[in-house]
A and B are shown apart, each in its own frame.
Chain A
Amino acid sequence: MAPEGNSKPSGGGYLDFEQKVADLERQMDELRKLSAQKGIDYIVEIRRIEKDKIGELKRLYAGLTAWQTVQVARHPQRPLLADYLNLMVQDFRELHGDRCFGDDRAIVTGIGQIARTKVLIVGQNKGKTTKEKIACNFGCPNPEGYRKALAKMRFAEKYGLPVVTLIDTPGAYPGIGAEERGQAQAIALNLCEMSRLKVPIVSICIGEGGSGGALGIAVGDRLAMLEFAYYSVISPEGCAAILWRDGSQAPDAAAALKLTSRELHKLGLVDAIIPEPVGGAQRNVHDTVHNVESYLAKTLAELNRMKLSDLVEARYRKWRSVGSASLGKGPKAAPTIAPIASTGRRVAAERDSSPAKV
């Protein structure tokens, strides 16, 4: 593969902070054109510019702001569920039926093999073409999507198939029909049932981790994020509209929400960060999928070795301890916690346990 082919998003797709990269790409294109026209060999110059470009990408992506990260996570050429199904899953068979209302294209479920392990895959689907995007509601699931996911996870539990969920949604759909059909209840039930499902569950946020819509398929034994994905309680735009009373303050809101993989890992809310290729996943779909596959191979093997009862207990502890570290430890608070902790077996055990590390 030509080195320059690796890190160029096809058809441009430069983000506004990538101007210098775009300039370097243009210079290389011009040299190649000249080369062809005049028969002069510019390979040395091209290589030098290529090196500069990679250096610039490394520099840029090492210091992305939260808002830039959100833009990368939403990049139109970022690999989507379909890429993972094509490149990572052997023998994929989609199972459509929610047995309830209809087939939500925003959530795809099916069986297949990842790294020679038979699994159930639950993935959020944003669609590539305009037609696909409309068909799958731009990745915003309706209640039937969450119910389909739960139905298939119960099927997986019955036959001992580990569950792999791939998260990529701006959020659960806020619509009239979604409310009529119980969006809140569908998500709530998934949280509850996933917490006690008797098979391993590995979740990976591959792009957008939009709030309850993401969490609705993310309550598992491990939660990993691609390096430049984001995961947030509310969209930066929504948060800005409420707390800043101005949606255009989204960059400030994104920073305040600490929604990047690095910040969330530091806070102990995410178990692992899966590295992306130089310049982001949109520049190299294959390497991105490969990194996700390696993580899954390792993690599935690890979880499959655990005794099922230990696995489910550890999962409970992991979720039960979310936020415990941030509780007020004022002199007034301490004495009240102690008696409860000493009588509540679980509370006592879990207050000190940090989320499981990979």
Chain B
Amino acid sequence: MTMTKKPKTTWGGFSLKPRKEMPEGLWTKCPACEHMLYRSAVEKNLNVCPTCSYHFRIGAPTRIEYLADDGTFQPLLDDLTSGDPLDFQFRGTTYKERILADEKKSGAKEAIQIGKAFIKGRGVVLGVMEPNFLMGSMGAVVGEKFCAAVDKALEESLPLVVVSCSGGARMHEGVVSLGQMAKTAAALARLDDAKGLFISVLTDPTTGGVTASFAMLGDVIMAEPGALIGFAGPRTIAETIKVELPDGFQTAEFMLEHGFIDMIVARKDLRSEIARIIDYCRK
């Protein structure tokens, strides 16, 4: 059960060697231990490799299914869609087209889902980011929905739990997306003033403007094992300093070692650990 071999993908980064979602088919090869795995066995194991506990990347609906008590998730602002504040065009295509393509491919309408839910019977406001929609990037919709989740938590005195999974700020929205970092951080300042609880759960990958805003502002910060967590992308760093990055750089374990997260929690234990923290922080 121990990780005998650190998966190379953990520092290879989001854009270089993206962590795999499980490919279609009956059998699949674990990218970390390279064992051939029976697909349904992995799915039964919460999309975690039974051999080496490599955590496959999962979309928001699956994450909600794993985290929330059955059928308790009630979405909020589910139909809020992206505008195109810059009228952004690139390489013969447009931001609008990119949104439509990702919507079609992933079935997701935006890069975060928020709603009320129960986790082991504890009422929470839950936010879950969607890596399959523009790399889980934060634009105006993600910022607005995050703040709406904070407002809901304030209003109903509920703990806020947000699972991050994001490549950072959404370039296509320019300074509008940059501003979401300040917007979400300002909302969390209000929650903090009201002594509200925010549990931030970091999954692979959590980078850029999401890490440098709400993800790092949790009262308690948890991360899934092996998750890539950082500010600058590994490729940017490698290109800037022109040295090879150390093994294990920017992993959840690295973040724990350097004092920036509180605990590493395996996917199967997330529900119980979140419930435990909530119980300790009840007023």
Give the distance to chain B from A349, nearest Cβ to Cβ, in Å: 11
Q: How large is the interface on B (under 10, 10 to 19, 20 to 34, 35 or more residues)?
A: 35 or more
B81 → A minimal CB distance (Å): 3
Check if B151 sits within 8 Å of A344, measured CB to CB. yes
**What is the interface size of chain A, counting residues whose CB is below 8 A from a CB of the partner?**
70
A175-B240 in contact (CB<8A): yes
Q: Is the CB of B237 within 8 A of A322?
A: no
Give the residues in chain B near A181, CB-CB below 8 Å: 258
- Answer whether A179 and B178 are a contact pair too, CB < 8 Å, given A219-B186, A323-B173, A343-B155: no
Known: A183-B212, A267-B85, A267-B176. A326 touches B186 (CB 8 A): no
Nearest Cβ on chain A to B165's Cβ, whole angstroms: 15
> Is B211 an interface residue, CB under 8 A from the partner?
yes
Residues of B close to A92: CB separation below 8 A: none
Number of A-B contacts (CB under 8 A): 238
At the interface, yes or no: B189 with Cβ under 8 Å from chain A?
yes
- Tell me whether A60 is interfacial, beta carbon within 8 Å: no
Beta-carbon contact of A238 and B186 below 8 Å = no
- Shortest B228–chain A CB gap in Å is 11
The chain A residue sitting closest to B179, CB to CB, is A322
The reply to whether the CB of B282 lies closer than 8 angstroms to some CB of chain A is no
How many whole Å from A320's CB to the nearest CB in chain B?
A: 6
Contact indicator B177/A233 (Cβ below 8 Å): yes
- In the complex, which residue of chain B has the Cβ closest to the Cβ of A171? B232
A189–B216 CB distance below 8 A:
yes
Q: Do A330 and B231 form a contact, CB below 8 Å, given A192-B189, A234-B171?
A: no
Spot the interface stretch: A48-56, A76-84, A253-261, A299-307. Answer: A253-261
Are B189 and A196 in contact, with the CB atoms below 8 A? yes
Interface pair A327/B178, CB less than 8 Å apart: no
Q: Give the distance to chain A from B98, nearest Cβ to Cβ, in Å.
A: 9
A39 within 8 A of B: no
B174 and A257 form a contact (CB under 8 A): yes
A176 with B155: in contact, given A243-B171, A322-B183 (CB under 8 Å)? no
Q: Cβ of A336 and Cβ of B148 under 8 Å apart?
A: no
- Is A132 positioned at the interface, with any CB of B under 8 Å from its CB? no
Check B69 for interface membership: any CB of A closer than 8 A: no
Residues from chain A with Cβ under 8 Å of B143 in the complex: 322-323
Known contacts A188-B212, A238-B236; 18 additional CB pairs below 8 A are A172-B231, A174-B232, A176-B237, A179-B230, A179-B232, A181-B258, A192-B188, A196-B193, A211-B169, A212-B181, A242-B15, A322-B182, A323-B85, A326-B82, A326-B173, A332-B79, A340-B152, A344-B155
A-B contact pairs, 24 of them (CB 8 A): A174-B241, A176-B246, A179-B230, A179-B249, A185-B260, A187-B181, A188-B216, A188-B217, A191-B185, A193-B189, A195-B182, A196-B186, A211-B178, A211-B209, A212-B231, A219-B182, A243-B91, A253-B90, A258-B174, A267-B85, A320-B187, A323-B85, A326-B176, A336-B77
On A, residues with C-beta under 8 Å from B are: 172-176, 178-185, 187-189, 191-193, 195-196, 211-212, 215-216, 218-219, 231-234, 238-239, 242-245, 249, 252-253, 256-259, 264, 267, 269, 315-316, 319-320, 322-330, 332-333, 335-337, 340, 343-344, 346-347
What 6 A-B pairs are tightest by C-beta distance, nearest first? A328-B81, A323-B140, A174-B232, A322-B179, A191-B185, A195-B186
